[in-house]
Chains A and B, each alone.
Chain A
Amino acid sequence: MSTLHLDHVTIALGERQLLAVDTVVQPGETLTIMGPSGVGKSSLLAYIGGFLDNAFTASGAVRMDGEDLTQLPSHARRTGILFQDPLLFPHMSVAENLLFAMPRAIKERAAKAEEALAQAGLDGFSSRDPATLSGGQKARVALMRVLLAQPRCLLLDEPFSKLDTERRANVRGFVFGEAQRLNLPVVMVTHDAEDAHAAMNATGGEIIDLAANG
């Protein structure tokens, strides 16, 4: 199992430094970046994932398995990401969304997709139009989709903020449970203290509060 190293990562927008992080995320652990909206906390996920806008300047290494991810194109980094919207591809069925994510080498793909859906409590949903799913169901499909791509770490960008309170705890438990089971290092960005504490209770790990030092 591999550890995620953030070595002296700094991100600035023009003259203004948004954040500076120098830490290690162990497998199964969650690093939480807390702060109000607009302070640029999502830019850290963009930097790790490889889609930081040109307007930002960033430095520092993101290392896993002895590789510096920042030297790889984003699709070769294997950094699974979940946003607050599930972003299921609207032109594909639920199963097609999952098949799209699976690496090509995987055999018995349809069966694997069914299995993943069963695991998420969504048996029999494979041929459904994603638009017909509830918010919580979509969120779970989105997680299964990320996991089927076999990522080596998980990036969460306010992943629960659009769910209602009831579903929220449920989906959150499911996400952290799966991350723990697969021993994935997780980086989460949130403005919600409850998410941060839930992550710490479930997986351990550090909380960096950008509001506190800014």
Chain B
Amino acid sequence: MLRLAPALALVVLLGPVACGLIATLLPAFGYLPALGGDHFTTSHFHEVLHVGGMERSLWLSYFTGLATTLIAFVIVWLFVAGWNGTAMFARMQHLISPLLSVPHAAAAFGLVFLIAPSGMLLRLLSPWATGFDRPPDWLLLQDPNGIALIAGLVMKEIPFLLLVTLAALPQTPAAQAARVANSMGYGRIAGFTFTTWPLVYRQIRLAVFAVIAFATSTVDVALVLGPATPPTLAVKLTQWMSDPDIAMRFAACAGAVLQLGVTVAAILTWVVGEKIAAAVVKMLRNSGHRFVRDAALRTAGAALTGMAALTVFAGLALLALWSVAGFWSFPDALPGSFNLRTWERTLPQLAGPLGTTLATGLIATAIAVVLTLACLEREARTGRTGGNRALLFIYIPLLIPQVAFVFGLQLFFLGLGWDASFPALVFVHLIFVLPYVFLALSDPWRAFDKRFVWVAAGLGQSPVRTFWRVRFPMLLKPVLVAAAVGLAVSIGQYLPTLLIGAGRWPTVTTEAVALASGGNRRVIGVMAFMQMVLPFVGFALAAAIPALLFRNRRDMGVAA
């Protein structure tokens, strides 16, 4: 059984991506017999490219994706380079970690409630500073250049990039290198950038590419914060894919191929940027400049990171506030009254999506955890790690825009008669849950002191018994944390749920995003609050269960 685990994991990771890509490519070139497409043609590409505003949509996807990645990357770099190893750094780390579990859409709604013309920021400034007694007619959200979209993405990608960087840091001699560089008179940022950053960057590179892929092709965040006329490419394609006119599927698939092109172009642009940045860093390093006066940059790094975190937290608080708000007129900073009426009214329609969200998330996560444990245990017993190639495979579903293969996957499932079924929904979630569970669990699993296993073998314990009695309980905490990560990823899935579920399996996320255009803040508050609270409960349980089980075991590191 164990021997099959890596192959099975590969099938889950690559199978749907490959099938989905092929099933996107064929209709893109006109071939989809079920819909009457029986010959190959490039006409759908011409059609797509002549749709009004298409050039703008392509540019928006490329630009917002790259800008998001660059801004988040620079902030994380400045923060890590400037503060790594300080007490402030450790505190910020604790502040940031929970943000990873907040679904993108919930964070986006939080930002809306904060910066909209009738949002909290302007309420706090009005009327004393602005003179407004009515929300101004400003285009702060869904601005045509996608600035709000970039802001919403940046604040969620900072925690991701930061945590990936933190995982890479212990594998570098960061502390010693910093001491050596500082003793030669280098400033903090320069010392870190010259000595350690190249080693760190090599390890987080795939994660950076994953951010580019996500940011160039996100649908849910762009629906909430992105421009509307024209929208980003992925949003437009999703509209076509859900169009009652089935013939639009051809255009949607052709567009999905273009989306793949946009993402690849963005990644290639980044790779060119890497070369230039490396050359510049090398030149500066060899020039001997010490860059001692970096206090302003360090402060900026910390301030921007802290601001991103506070923005998400403030947004989440506003979601909760709106969900219990009674009458709340502009520019009052607080509602005139509080009540549970919105909750009472929304709960009946919430029950179904809540059940689907939990069932899908828990089953997909359970499968992902079992597969990951089987792969890691197999690796531990054979001593063979997949190396860099395995890491690339794990990242594949995160490096290819969802639009590009989930469209095809939907058509593929349709052909098999699996569409809109619950197992298909769980399966498509598993594709995205598995990589994150694996990434979250592999480091602690591999860091486990193997001598415990050798001792157990010396005591005559079989590998199976050693797994269940020694390794698994000792690593229960990281296993549960990885499961919580998986659950959070599943809860946040919008596009795969929408398309594979075909509207028949609404979740709190699809419901929340569907409300975006309606604009009832109280109901959005309830839905988005549920969206954010579920992953949080998962992480709380992941901390509480081992603490309870091992409350009398000091070295299990969970005692209060």
Contact = CB atoms under 8 A, between A and B. Distances in A.
Interface of A: 46, 49-51, 53-54, 73-81, 83, 85, 87, 89-91, 100-101, 103, 129-132, 145-146, 149-151, 155
Contacts of B450: 51
Contact of A49 (B457, B463, B555): B457
Given A90-B474, A149-B459, A83 B556 contact: no
Nearest to A83: B451
Interface in B443-482: 449-463, 466, 469-470, 473-474
Given A53-B383, A85-B451, A100-B469, A90 B553 contact: yes
B552 interface: yes
A50 B457 contact: yes
Nearest to B450: A51
Contacts of A87: 449, 451-452, 455
B458 A129 contact: no
Nearest to B557: A90
B50 interface: no
Nearest to A51: B454
A90 B451 contact: no
A91 B546 CA distance: 10
B94 interface: no
B35 to A, nearest CB: 53
A54 B451 contact: no
Given A100-B461, A101-B459, A91 B550 contact: yes
A131 B466 CA distance: 21
A83 B455 contact: yes
B554 interface: yes
Contact of B554 (A83, A89, A129, A149): A129
B455 A90 contact: no
A149 B460 contact: yes
A73 B464 CA distance: 13
A151 B473 CA distance: 25
Contact of A91 (B449, B458, B474): B474
A65 to B, nearest CB: 15
Most buried by A among B449, B459, B470: B459
B555 A90 contact: yes
A51 B457 contact: yes
21 contacts: A46-B454, A49-B454, A49-B457, A49-B458, A51-B450, A73-B463, A74-B454, A74-B457, A75-B456, A75-B460, A76-B460, A79-B458, A81-B458, A83-B455, A87-B451, A90-B553, A100-B461, A101-B460, A129-B552, A145-B459, A146-B459
